[in-house]
Amino acid sequence: MADSYAMVKGGKLNLKGHKMKKSKKHKSHKRKHDGSSASAPSRSQDHEDVAKHGGWWEVKQFADITANIAIEVGDSVYITALDNGGLAIGEPRDEGDGPDPAEIFTAIKINDTKVAFKSGYGKYVTVEADGKLEAKVEAMGAREQFEPVFQDGKLALNGCNNCFLTCDEDGELACSARTAGDGEFVRLRSCAVRERDPLEDIPLEERGSVKDAEINYVKKFQSFQDRRLRVNEEDKTALKKAKKEGDFHEVLLDRRATALSSPPGPELQLNSPP
C-alpha cells in the first residue's frame, strides 16, 4: 500500500488565468501579510460564519482537518453521499443549520499532505478512471487519497490523477480540472471543539501588568522624534482600579496627556517603536 501512495503526484493550486511564475513571486509576501496577528473584525467574522453554518467552522490548514468533515461546494451547499455509492450536491441548508448526516464524511489522514474521505455508509470516496467521483469501495488505495491545497485563503482538492475536484452544471462531481478557478474552490468544515485561547479577547498590548500595558500603548501611539519614552510615573493604583471597572483606556489617555506635558523619560534602546 505504501508503494501505491508513492505513485500519487502532489499538486499545486494553479489559478486559472494566472501564471505560476508570477504567483510564486508574490506568494511569500502575501502569506506573511495574511499571517499577521488576527484583528478583532476577523475574529468577529469568523464567529458569524460559524454561527451561520450551525457550529461548523472552516478548516484553514491541513493540521486542522479532523475526523468529521463536510465538503462545502457552495454557500451552505455540501457534497452528500447516496446509499447506492454515488455522490451528489445536497440541498442548500438554511442559515444556522449544519450539514445533514449524509453530508458528513470521516477524514482519514494518510500522511502530512494527503487525506481520504469515508462516507457515512462506510465507503471511501474514489476517483474513477474517467475522473468521476464515487463512494463504493471498502478498502483505501491510491485512488482514494486527496491532497487539500491551501493557498491565499482558498482551498482546492487535488485527486490522484493530479486534477482538481470540480462540479459541472448538472451537479456531477469529478476530478477533471488541471487548474483551479472559482468552480474548483471548496471549503472543508469541521465541528470539532476548538480550544479557546483564554486571552483571545484581550488586546496584545494588555496581556501583562498594567505597567507593561501602559508602556505598550505609549510605544504604539507615541511618535519618537527625540527617541524618548514619555510614560506617566505616577502610582499605578488608579490604573488597576480602572481595569476592573472598565474605563482602563480612558484613564490611560488621561495619564498619557499628563506625561506628554512632563519632561521626557529615558532614551529608547529600540531603533523604532514596535
User: pLDDT grade, residue 243 (50/70/90)?
Assistant: confident
Cβ count within 10 A of residue 23? 16
User: pLDDT grade, residue 252 (50/70/90)?
Assistant: confident
Between residues 212 and 190, the one the model is more confident about: 190
User: pLDDT grade, residue 6 (50/70/90)?
Assistant: very low
User: pLDDT grade, residue 222 (50/70/90)?
Assistant: low
For residue range 113-162, list pLDDT tens digits in order. Answer: 999 999 999 999 999 999 999 999 999 999 999 999 999 999 999 999 99
pLDDT at 108: 96
CA-derived radius of gyration, the chain: 26
Work out the angle at residue 126's Cα, subtended by the Cα atoms of residues 190 and 94, and round it to the nearest 5 degrees: 35
The mean pLDDT value for 85-110 works out to: 95
Highest mean pLDDT among 33-42, 138-147, 201-210: 138-147
Nearest to 269 by CA among 220, 223, 217, 224: 224
pLDDT at 272 over 70: no
* 8 A C-beta contact, residue 65 and residue 184: no
pLDDT at 184: 95
Interatomic CA distance for residues 1 and 3, integer angstroms? 5
Percent of the chain residues past pLDDT 70, beyond the cut: 67
pLDDT at 26: 39
* 8 A C-beta contact, residue 221 and residue 229: no
Q: Is 74 helix (H, G, I), strand (E, B) or coil?
A: strand
For residue range 70-83, list pLDDT tens digits in order. Answer: 999 999 999 999 99
User: pLDDT grade, residue 197 (50/70/90)?
Assistant: low
User: pLDDT grade, residue 259 (50/70/90)?
Assistant: low
User: pLDDT grade, residue 255 (50/70/90)?
Assistant: confident
Nearest to 144 by CA among 185, 115, 176, 186: 115
Looking at residue 249, its amino acid is H
pLDDT at 95: 93
Looking at residue 47, its amino acid is H
Q: Is 86 helix (H, G, I), strand (E, B) or coil?
A: coil
The mean pLDDT value for 22-51 works out to: 53
* 8 A C-beta contact, residue 119 and residue 125: yes
For residue range 13-29, list pLDDT tens digits in order. Answer: 544 444 443 434 334 33
pLDDT at 55 over 50: yes
